[in-house]
Amino acid sequence: MRTALSALVTDYGGVLDDHGTEQPGARAPLLVRLGELRERGVATALLSNGNSVPPEVADAGVLDVMVLSAEVGTSKPDPAIYHLTAEFLGVSPRNCVFVDDVARNVSAAVRTGMVGVLHRDVASTLDELAVLFE
């Protein structure tokens, strides 16, 4: 039996910066959804191999934790970074959904016990998140 999902971990590049068909300058739909889930009590984290995130994400008020590989000394797809992110959120990896646009990163997260969502486009990722968190 699967443990209840209570955390969403997502990459930035290729995911949170994907505006889909939205108007330029509008808030990215996945960033909006992250905020909605956080308001419902879902713990939220950004997990990025980058060394920084844009202020519009960092200051959006939708993230409980930001894990940047340059700051923690390991990077995706090393299993340690997924475990560390879950630990920072105070949950087991089995309680986490991980979203990334790189298949090997999603596969690595799944091997740690997370539910993996491979981001291909905004609409399908939003649909998958609706199923997982509704």
Res. 131: pLDDT tops 60: yes
Domain borders along the chain are: 7-133
Q: What is the value of pTM for the model shown?
A: 0.94
Mean pLDDT of 40-67: 95
CA–CA distance, 81 with 73 (Å, rounded to integer): 9
User: Which CATH architecture fits 7-133?
Assistant: 3-Layer(aba) Sandwich (3.40)
pLDDT at 25: 65
CA–CA distance, 45 with 86 (Å, rounded to integer): 9
Radius of gyration of the chain (CA): 13
pLDDT at 1: 45
Q: Which residue has the higher pLDDT, 122 or 21?
A: 122
pLDDT at 28: 87
Tens digit of each residue's pLDDT (9 = 90 or more) over 99-113: 999 999 999 999 999
Q: In what order do the strands lie in the sheet with 7-10?
A: 65-68, 43-48, 7-10, 96-100, 115-118
